[in-house]
Amino acid sequence: MTAAVAAVDLGATSGRVMVGQVGPETLELRQVGRFPNGPVRTPDGLHWNLQQLFSHVLDGLRSASRWDESIASIGIDSWAVDYALLRGGRVLGEPFHYRDDRTARGVDLVHGQAPFSTLYARNGLQFLPFNTVYQLAVEREAGMLDVADRMLLVPDLMAHYLTGAEVAEATNASTTGLLDVTTQEWDGELMDLLGLPRRLFPRIVHPGERIGTLLPHVADVTGLAAATPVVAVGSHDTASAVVATPMTEPGGAYISCGTWGLVGVETETPILTRTAEHANFTNEGGVDGRTRFLHNVMGLWILSETIRWWERDGETVDLQKLLAQAAAVPACEHIFDANDAVFSPPGDMPGRIAGWLGERGLQVPASRAEMARCIIESLAQAFADAVHDAGALSAQEVRRIHITGGGSLNELLCQRTADRSGLPVMAGPVEATAIGNVLVQGRALGAITGSLESLRDLVARTFKPRVFEPKGH
Ligand code: LFR
């Protein structure tokens, strides 16, 4: 038996709706909707436009139902940490974007009450200033939590818009900083300590569970049957990507490479050692109770934001041409630290890179091709370092690196990551996130069965990776 499902995959720069056909020997995906996403600045800060995003999701689902009238379920994943506050089912303003700089204040507020090592012992998360817990501390100070009675993370909000249900999917909830890393339940004590009302946090659901069925008006506008269920998947995009990373043998590390490069290994249990804490490695919740032991590296954001800056006066920069030119110039002698927080906010990325190098007396790229090359080299080094750390901290011998997501199409990045790590890079699949979403739905529907290993076998049989052997520096 095969099943048809719709996967909604929302990234920080674009979203897509895919129709997946899934069965024991079948794994086919077709994109039926794609739309841009990004921040909108209003006087109070940087926001998402989730109403618009939802209308794109509805359009995509409409296309899905036209493409295949037997769609049996819907799964939603997105970037992590961001949320909407609600009162009585009504959304209180457009959610903030995690790159908004208000989070610095949140860090001071939270660490004043619970130092980082206390948090790490409870939630196992690397320090990222935008984790939900810090954002909520700012909301509290602004009085918003006196009004709100619910917090829904982005994919949970979309599921709410589709079904009316209010839940918190576990893999994404694990990025809030408020989930107990060992029990994977909400940490009520930590909420009390930080003055975050427990009522905000809905019931946890796990990937594979049914969230609800479509509201009548949603069925009307999308053409899908009203009985169509929304099924919980790894709603954190990185969790879905890791499901579909074809690590079929021991020794595989992964880099889920899009806006971010999420670099790590899968483990059976969290690693909460002092060394893991100091190396700023995170223990995010994976599908089937696995742990995603990883580190956030800045990712293709640095390149896309550089291009956006160059294009700000209306010029168009051809990415493929730029990458070809970057491959043709010699590898820059000096690289920058792609993990430096200075590269996090939107803005003049080339200026910041030049500033970073210049301040340290290092050579600044002279042309755009050299700048692009310097970015790729810096990312490749940060990836290689994080893979090395992931192996050392988890006591796993890493023998190969899987790069999935948009970055898997960037040959220069794949090759240089292989060269700088000394390990072969297996590139693909590019749509790992949507594939992971489809697979978990397929398993919930009974169209496929088995552990993550057997799902990954199916991925490996279906999408042949491209291999980049290390060639040395
Ligand atoms: C990737 C991702 C990362 C998370 C970042 C912010 O899309 O979900 O895993 O740290 O976005 O939410």
DSSP state letters, 132-150: HHHHHHHHHHTTHHHH--E
Pocket test for ligand 1, best of 9, 296, 339, 431 (most atoms within 8 A of CB): 296
Q: How many CB atoms neighbour CB 29 within 10 A?
A: 21
Interface predicted TM-score (ipTM) of this complex, two decimals: 0.99
Instruction: Read off the pLDDT of residues 146-169 as tens digits, 9 standing for 90 and up.
Output: 999 999 999 999 999 999 999 999
Helices (H), 44-148: 50-67, 103-113, 116-123, 132-141, 144-147
pLDDT recorded at residue 215? 98
Q: Which atom of ligand 1 approaches the CA of 130 most closely?
A: 6
Tell me, yes or no, if the two domains 3-237 and 247-428 fold the same way.
yes
Residue appearing with tokens 């009520």: 188
Q: How far apart are the CA of 234 and the centre of ligand 1, in A? A: 13
Instruction: Read off the pLDDT of residues 261-294 as tens digits, 9 standing for 90 and up.
Output: 999 999 999 999 999 999 999 999 999 999 999 9
Q: Please check the confidence at residue 472 and state whether its pLDDT lies above 80.
A: no
Instruction: Tell me which fold the domain 247-428 belongs to.
Output: Nucleotidyltransferase; domain 5 (3.30.420)
Q: Round to whole Å and give the CA distance between 453 and 442.
A: 15
**Contact in structure between 324 and 330 (CB atoms under 8 Å):** no
Q: Please check the confidence at residue 1 and state whether its pLDDT lies above 90.
A: no
Residue numbers annotated as active site: 237
Q: What is the mean pLDDT of residues 16-45?
A: 97
Q: What is the mean pLDDT of residues 437-446?
A: 98
> Which CATH number fits the domain 3-237, given the four candidates 3.50.50.60, 3.30.70.1350, 3.30.420.40, 3.40.640.10?
3.30.420.40
pLDDT recorded at residue 370? 97
Q: How many CB atoms neighbour CB 333 within 10 A?
A: 9
Q: Round to whole Å and give the CA distance between 186 and 176.
A: 10
Domain boundaries, the chain: 3-237, 247-428
DSSP, collapsed to helix, strand or coil, labels residue 6 as strand
- Spatial CB neighbours of 187, under 8 Å, sequence gap ≥ 6: 122, 123, 178, 179, 180
Cβ–ligand 1 distance for 79 under 6 Å, the answer: yes
Residue-level length of the chain: 473
Query: Which residue, judged by its Cα, is nearest atom 11 of ligand 1?
Result: 79
Q: Round to whole Å and give the CA distance between 153 and 80.
A: 8
pLDDT recorded at residue 176? 98
Residue 35 structure tokens? 């739309």
Q: How far apart are the CA of 219 and the centre of ligand 1, in A? A: 30
Q: Please check the confidence at residue 473 and state whether its pLDDT lies above 80.
A: no
Q: How far apart are the CA of 57 and the centre of ligand 1, in A? A: 20
**Contact in structure between 6 and 17 (CB atoms under 8 Å):** yes
Q: Please check the confidence at residue 332 and state whether its pLDDT lies above 90.
A: no
- Does pTM top 0.95 for this prediction? yes
Q: Round to whole Å and give the CA distance between 144 and 302.
A: 33
Instruction: Read off the pLDDT of residues 127-148 as tens digits, 9 standing for 90 and up.
Output: 999 999 999 999 999 999 999 9
Cβ–ligand 1 distance for 9 under 6 Å, the answer: no
Cβ–ligand 1 distance for 81 under 6 Å, the answer: yes
Cβ–ligand 1 distance for 284 under 6 Å, the answer: no
What confidence tier does 103 reach under pLDDT thresholds 50, 70, 90? very high
Instruction: Compute φ and ψ for 3, nearest 5 degrees.
Output: -125, 150
45 CB-contact burial (10 Å; exposed 0-12 / middle 13-18 / buried 19+): middle
Q: How many CB atoms neighbour CB 223 within 10 A?
A: 14
Pocket test for ligand 1, best of 237, 242, 283, 292 (most atoms within 8 A of CB): 237
Q: Round to whole Å and give the CA distance between 123 and 272.
A: 9
Enumerate helices (H) and strands (E) in the chain, giving the number of each: 18, 20
Q: Round to whole Å and give the CA distance between 458 and 27.
A: 7
Q: Round to whole Å and give the CA distance between 392 and 387.
A: 9
Q: What is the mean pLDDT of residues 415-441?
A: 98
Residue 249 structure tokens? 């043998």
Q: Round to whole Å and give the CA distance between 22 and 4.
A: 7
